[in-house]
Amino acid sequence: MFTETNLATNIAEAYYGYYEKSYTGVAPVSNENWTGGVATSVIKSAALDNLAAATKTIISNYIQEKREVDRSDILAYDFNDDANYDFENLIRNLTGGVDNADYRSWYTAFEAAVVYRKTTLKNYSGIIRRMFTMEGSEGLSTYIPTGESNSTMNTFYRTLSWYTAAGWDGTGW
């Protein structure tokens, strides 16, 4: 922890390494000696303005007039009504993927912001009480507004500066 360079990454690697040693790939028996997986990432906050601008381009081009986002192919990090979804999966889903120039431009900004990410193959969810795959995880989650425009989470999301910076304010949500 007391290094002069890569402090955040060193902390993330130490955190990941500690839990990876105990990882079994099966549901843990208790919170003591956690064996149910680990995921961590490091975000470079100085790069978030560029990521927001790149995201705003995608959101404003691909979501208009409260278009409902198909979440079926987007990795969910938790399993309640207001799940957090993998951010890269969302953008790939909206743009059609890696062959799309919009996606590639956005991904450059994403990689500059998400400087470290690592996860075990599966993680345990206490909500669904089972292990779930982390395949496709890119290390940064996002909220996706729902069809219920006045839901508590949608209302809260509108208060965040990210809502405007990332272009959600132009979608009708």
Tens-digit pLDDT profile for the chain (173 aa)? 566 788 999 999 999 999 999 999 999 988 888 999 999 999 999 999 999 999 999 999 999 888 888 888 899 887 776 678 999 999 999 999 999 999 999 999 999 999 999 999 999 988 888 999 999 899 999 999 877 666 888 889 999 999 999 999 999 87
Within a domain: 91: yes
What is the spatial distance between Cα 111 and Cα 90, in angstroms, rounded to a whole number?
15
Within a domain: 23: yes
The dihedral built from the CA positions of residue 117, 40, 11 and 165, taken in this order, carries a sign that is positive
**Domain carrying residue 152:** 7-170
* Total domains present in the chain: 1
On whether the CB atoms of residues 95 and 89 are closer than 8 A, the answer is no
Within a domain: 67: yes
Within a domain: 1: no
Within a domain: 63: yes
Within a domain: 104: yes
